[in-house]
């Protein structure tokens, strides 16, 4: 069976995809499955499920706050996998786990991959994974379990490096809109637009999704015009925390994306 991430992009060549991030275990420990099912029902194409960690280097205050709350609520990888396993048969869209190396290595990387398969996860994003470790250690195990390891690129990533990543990964490339931490932005300036166009012109093998800073119509359209779709994190996490109800948070998100 084809990996769901590959399937999604193969079936949606002309669709502008929307992927959302939320942190597992926030706002409530038990709500993770319900949030995922609600997102799927409301047409979200792919979901990034955050693994809470005490020192999330790439994340801004909103996602850091969500991780702190989730840890206080008692969320950990064992609990998360149990929750995902419970809804596995109801989830058709790709789930991507996003987390830092420390908790994953503590769990054991092979055990982590095995649990991903058992709970219906299609891939992972590990922001602090060095590329050499990915190639030498992580990729062979992930490939064995047919899991995709998604790599990030930023405006500072060189063309050679981007081509190297494109040639050695599968699934999609996560284009970070800026070299800063996560967080909602009102617009993408000329420098970011130039970066999007530059990557477009490279004609990469992998599909691309743009994330970091998408929170309104202007940023969403810029992302969707320059890639296969957009990833929204901080904005949705904020709305979910405010309402504690995924349907209501999505109503407010869709409304914000119209403005």
| Residues designated as active site | 48, 59
- Report the CATH number at residue 140: 3.20.20.70
CA distances from 167 to 20, 46, 163 (A): 26, 23, 6
Query: Strand, coil or helix: what is 242?
Result: helix
Q: What is the mean pLDDT of the chain?
A: 93
Terminal CA-CA length for the chain: 40
Q: Which domain holds residue 113?
A: 16-258
Q: What's the pTM value of the predicted model, to 2 decimals?
A: 0.94
Q: What is the pLDDT of residues 226-235, one digit of tens each?
A: 999 999 999 9
Any domain includes 7: no
Other CB atoms within 10 A of residue 194 CB? 11
Other CB atoms within 10 A of residue 108 CB? 11
CA distances from 84 to 80, 90, 91, 121, 142 (A): 6, 10, 9, 8, 19
Any domain includes 3: no
State the total domains in the chain: 1
Any domain includes 104: yes
Residue 21: phi and psi, rounded to 5, are: -110, 140
Q: What is the pLDDT of residues 90-120, one digit of tens each?
A: 999 999 999 999 999 999 999 999 999 999 9
Any domain includes 28: yes
């Amino acid at each position: 069976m084809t990996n769901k991430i590959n399937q999604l992009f193969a079936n949606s060549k002309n669709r502008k995809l929307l992927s959302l991030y939320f942190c597992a275990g926030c706002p409530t420990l038990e709500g993770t499955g319900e949030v995922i099912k609600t997102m799927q029902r409301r047409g979200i194409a792919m979901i990034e499920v955050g693994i809470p960690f005490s020192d999330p280097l790439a994340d801004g205050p909103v996602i850091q706050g969500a991780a702190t709350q989730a840890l206080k609520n008692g969320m950990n990888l064992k609990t998360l996998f149990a929750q995902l396993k419970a809804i596995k048969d109801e989830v058709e869209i790709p789930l991507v786990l996003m987390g830092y190396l420390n908790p994953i290595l503590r769990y054991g990387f092979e055990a982590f991959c095995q649990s991903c398969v058992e709970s219906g996860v299609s891939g992972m994003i590990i922001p602090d994974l060095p590329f050499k470790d990915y190639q030498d250690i992580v990729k062979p195990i992930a490939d064995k379990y047919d899991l995709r390891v998604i790599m990030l690129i930023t405006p500072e990533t060189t063309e050679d490096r981007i081509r190297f990543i494109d040639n050695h990964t599968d699934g999609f490339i996560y284009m970070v809109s800026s070299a800063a931490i996560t967080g909602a932005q009102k617009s993408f300036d000329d420098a970011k637009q130039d970066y999007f166009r530059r990557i477009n012109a490279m004609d990469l093998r992998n599909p691309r999704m743009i994330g970091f800073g998408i929170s309104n119509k202007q940023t969403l359209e810029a992302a969707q015009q320059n890639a296969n779709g957009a990833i929204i994190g901080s904005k949705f996490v904020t709305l979910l925390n405010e309402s504690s109800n995924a349907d209501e948070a999505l109503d407010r998100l869709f409304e914000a994306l119209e403005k």
